[in-house]
Amino acid sequence: MPWRDDHKPRTRHQILGAAATLFTRHGFKGTTIDDVMRQAGLTRGAFYAHFASKGELYAAALRHAARNNATRLQNADPRERVLGYLSEAHRRGEDVNCPLACLVSDVAQQDDQVREAYTRLFGGFVAHCQTAGEEARENRRRALQQAVTMIGGMAIARTLNDDALAEEVLDACRALAGIENA
């Protein structure tokens, strides 16, 4: 019996979902192809029908995770976007695992393909932080400040094992991003 027409795209989507989850939790070195394929419920042999290397998968998984999170950014008002991003749930990886915050130091050690994917994702994140109607140069500057505050603050908060200190960091970042916790 032949595969359905949508088999290959669905399988690729399964692999990317599993890879995005594992890479954002364990990084590039802490995740193997076997781990990804096991998480996706597939065999290792299926991997090579979709990707030539682990590096190619990593770059694609970054984009996949970012696309999933971008929907939340697009549909939220600026206040909700900041509060959701700088939340305790995001810090613990319960509902959001933004690759920009989860993998910031991991990506710095990767090849140009992965760094290019990360750079594009960061540019898209900054664009989501921009506000309509403001003068372009000041709008861009404010969006960069907000993006760096949010991503950097989350990256630091995720590394801390002191919950009270992590919450202080997130609260300070919410204030810097122009949003006070209510």
Is the per-residue pLDDT at 181 higher than 60? no
Position 13 scores a pLDDT of 94
For the chain, the straight-line distance linking the first and the last C-alpha, in angstroms and rounded, comes to: 57
Mean of pLDDT values over 30-56: 95
Q: How far apart are CA 99 and CA 65, in angstroms?
A: 7
Contact 114, 107 (CB under 8 A): yes
Cβ neighbourhood burial of 9 (10 Å; 0-12, 13-18, 19+) = exposed
Cβ neighbourhood burial of 45 (10 Å; 0-12, 13-18, 19+) = exposed
Split at pLDDT 50, 70, 90, the class of 182 is very low
Mean of pLDDT values over 95-109: 88
Mean pLDDT of the chain: 89
Q: How far apart are CA 117 and CA 123, in angstroms?
A: 10
Q: How far apart are CA 110 and CA 94, in angstroms?
A: 26
Q: How far apart are CA 129 and CA 73, in angstroms?
A: 9
Contact 58, 76 (CB under 8 A): no
Q: How far apart are CA 136 and CA 142, in angstroms?
A: 10
CA within 13 Å, CB half, 170: 25
> Tell me: the pLDDT tens digits for 115-151?
999 999 999 999 888 877 668 888 899 999 999 999 9
Position 112 scores a pLDDT of 93
